[in-house]
């Protein structure tokens, strides 16, 4: 798959590195020349220095052959414009954008951005759940917020420690996608016992996410 990433910083670096490790072809567009040179030295990705809002830059970067475009700049209007141009002008099938101001999320959806990453919404969900942030990592939403994926760490004193999955009363809409234990991946089965320190991948509807964390972590 051909992926185009727009933006800079550690997020772009780690995202590109992860995608390439899975066999995808990555092109990065960044307007800072010094950082672009740095990225090109650190990654085996095509790095283009320029403004991604310029259609000539997108074309030079291979937009016509791109499957997914991800715009992660700190300016919402740039992210929206780039995603719209990617679809309307270059025919890129799928676009993803960072939304810095949550008030703009509806506009992004109405104008056809396929997936939205809203950091404010994600942090708000943590606060509303009254859960310690250190217990949760890699919280993301998919399909415009209709599906949540959370990694939850089982801390000392959690009520599920020592119980098997079949004995834990989770809503039917919640799926435990995997357990990371001492660096090893455990595929959850009915007889799998939960242990302290387990990192559990929770796949759920957003409205059921807090229920899953409540069952697994208790009153934390």
What percentage of the chain carries pLDDT values higher than 70?
86
| Domain assignment of residue 122, yes or no | no
- Over residues 177-209, the pLDDT tens digits come to 888 888 888 888 888 999 999 988 888 877 777
Shared domain check, 143 and 87 = no
Residues 91, 66: Cα–Cα separation, whole Å: 9
What percentage of the chain carries pLDDT values higher than 90?
43
State how beta strands 68-71 and 46-49 pair.
unpaired
Q: Out of 63-67, 125-129, 200-204, pick the least confident.
A: 125-129
Q: What six digits make up the tokens of 115?
A: 């997936």
Given a cut of 90, is residue 81 above it in pLDDT? yes
Shared domain check, 147 and 96 = no
Provide the 10 A C-beta neighbour count for residue 85. Answer: 19
| Domain assignment of residue 123, yes or no | no
Shared domain check, 138 and 108 = no
Given a cut of 80, is residue 216 above it in pLDDT? yes
Residues 133, 45: Cα–Cα separation, whole Å: 33
3-state DSSP call for residue 29?
strand
- Over residues 9-45, the pLDDT tens digits come to 777 888 898 889 888 999 999 999 999 999 999 998 9
Decide if 71 contacts 98 (C-beta within 8 A).
Answer: yes
| Domain assignment of residue 124, yes or no | no
- Over residues 146-166, the pLDDT tens digits come to 677 788 889 888 899 999 988
In angstroms, the Cα distances linking 30 to 13, 17, 52, 69, 110 are: 11, 16, 8, 13, 27
| Residue numbers of the domain that contains 59 | 2-117
pTM assigned to the model: 0.60
Shared domain check, 93 and 195 = no
Name the band, by pLDDT with cuts 50, 70 and 90, for residue 91: very high
Decide if 205 contacts 142 (C-beta within 8 A).
Answer: no
- Which CATH number do you get for residue 57? 3.40.50.720
Shared domain check, 112 and 15 = yes
- Which CATH number do you get for residue 141? 3.30.70.1450
Choosing from 117, 145, 163, the residue where a domain stops is 117
Report angle CA 80, 83, 85 to the nearest 5 degrees.
105
Shared domain check, 95 and 135 = no
| Domains in the chain, number | 2
């Amino acid at each position: 798959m051909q992926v185009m990433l727009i933006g800079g910083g550690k997020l772009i670096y780690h995202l590109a590195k992860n995608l390439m490790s899975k066999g995808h072809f990555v092109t990065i567009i960044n307007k800072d020349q010094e950082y672009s040179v740095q990225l090109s030295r650190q990654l085996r990705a095509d790095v283009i220095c320029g403004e991604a809002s310029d259609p000539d830059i997108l074309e030079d970067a291979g937009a016509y052959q791109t499957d997914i475009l991800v715009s992660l700049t700190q300016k919402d209007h740039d992210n929206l414009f780039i995603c719209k141009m990617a679809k309307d002008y270059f025919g890129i099938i799928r676009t993803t954008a960072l939304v810095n101001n949550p008030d703009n999320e509806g506009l992004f959806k109405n104008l056809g951005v396929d997936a939205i990453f809203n950091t404010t919404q994600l942090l708000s969900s943590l606060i509303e759940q009254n859960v310690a942030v250190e217990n949760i990592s890699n919280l993301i939403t998919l399909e415009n917020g209709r599906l949540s994926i959370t990694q939850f760490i089982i801390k000392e004193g959690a009520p599920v420690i020592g119980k098997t999955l079949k004995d834990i009363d989770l809503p039917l809409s919640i799926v435990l996608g995997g357990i990371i234990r001492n660096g090893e991946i455990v595929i959850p089965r009915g007889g799998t016992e939960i242990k302290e320190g387990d990192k559990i991948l929770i796949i759920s509807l957003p409205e059921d996410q807090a229920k899953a964390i409540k069952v697994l972590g208790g009153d934390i």
